[in-house]
């Protein structure tokens, strides 16, 4: 999957590029760019960032890039992972991503874990995160999957403004490893059955 959009920066007429690439098609240069940008926000060192990338990224994960001219100033990681609803004897059918499954079966499907949203500190306050979030939402819809993220209380309103919905904590649980926080969802209208989100598979 590869998407490329090009337009003009609304402030200074500088060209920006938004593109989405699966892990399997990334170049070593692009991987290093990602790690360098992330390390400006989360300072683990470039070796630590590269090691995390190698150990946690799968070949069908999506990487959304925001370039101003040739400089990477924004990035989002969408990790393709497993979502599961455990079997129940109380209901005849579940509806998961508009597909019906017979009673008594575990229902597994894929979702996009919204893992990272980062804008270079030098370019904040220029409305770039809104442009990147709009692009992220387009990519999520194009994938045919729904997306899920975990965030702190202070970020809930930000994602709501970007058309995400906050989930009731009773309808989801995060597995491997367990996390706590606010669950937000995009590109899925009905979410009222308790499901299990896997981070590492």
Q: What is the DSSP string of 89-154?
A: SS-SEEEETTEEEETTS-EEEEEEEEEEEEE-GGGTTSSHHHHHHHHHHHHHHHHTS-EEEEE-GG
Is 184 strand, coil or helix?
Answer: strand
Q: What is the pLDDT of residue 28?
A: 96
Q: What is the pTM of this model?
A: 0.83
Strands 99-102 and 147-151 come out as unpaired
How many Å apart are CA 103 and CA 117, to the nearest integer? 38
Q: What is the pLDDT of residues 110-135, one digit of tens each?
A: 999 999 999 999 999 988 999 999 99
| CB 32, CB 72: distance < 8 Å | no
Q: What is the pLDDT of residue 173?
A: 83
Q: What is the pLDDT of residues 7-64, one digit of tens each?
A: 434 444 467 889 999 999 999 999 999 999 999 999 999 999 999 999 999 999 999 9
* Predicted confidence band of residue 3 (pLDDT cuts 50, 70, 90): low
Question: Would you tell me how many other CB atoms lie within 10 Å of the CB of residue 147?
Answer: 23
| CB 135, CB 64: distance < 8 Å | yes
Can you list the pairs that 168-171 forms with residues at least 24 positions away whose Cβ atoms lie under 8 Å?
170/194, 171/195
Cα angle for residues 130, 132, 138 (degrees, 5° grid) = 105
Q: What is the pLDDT of residue 93?
A: 35
Domain ranges of the chain: 2-198
Average pLDDT over residues 178-184: 82
| CB 181, CB 152: distance < 8 Å | yes
Class of domain 2-198: alpha beta
Q: What is the pLDDT of residues 55-112, one digit of tens each?
A: 999 999 999 999 998 899 999 999 999 988 865 544 433 333 334 444 444 578 899 9
Cα–Cα distances (Å) from 65 to 51, 168, 198, in that order, read 20, 31, 25
Cα angle for residues 113, 118, 123 (degrees, 5° grid) = 155
Read off the tokens for 148: 């899920």
């Amino acid at each position: 999957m590869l998407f490329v959009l090009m337009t003009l920066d609304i402030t200074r007429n500088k060209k920006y590029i938004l593109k989405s690439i699966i892990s399997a098609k990334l170049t070593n240069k692009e991987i290093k760019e990602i790690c360098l940008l992330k390390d400006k926000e989360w300072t683990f060192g470039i070796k630590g960032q590269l090691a995390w990338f190698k150990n946690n990224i799968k070949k069908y994960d999506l990487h959304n890039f925001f370039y101003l001219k040739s400089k990477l100033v924004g990035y989002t990681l969408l990790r393709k992972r497993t979502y599961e609803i455990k079997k129940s004897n109380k209901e005849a059918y579940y509806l998961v991503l508009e597909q019906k499954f017979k009673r008594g079966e575990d229902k597994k499907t894929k979702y996009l874990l919204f893992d990272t949203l980062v804008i270079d500190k030098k370019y904040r306050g220029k409305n770039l995160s809104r442009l990147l979030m709009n692009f992220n939402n387009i990519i999520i819809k194009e994938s045919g999957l729904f997306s899920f993220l975990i965030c702190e209380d202070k970020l809930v309103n930000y994602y709501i403004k970007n058309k995400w919905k906050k989930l009731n904590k009773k309808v989801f649980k995060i597995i491997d490893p367990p996390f706590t926080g606010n669950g937000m969802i995009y590109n899925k209208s009905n979410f009222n059955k308790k499901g299990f989100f896997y981070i590492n598979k």
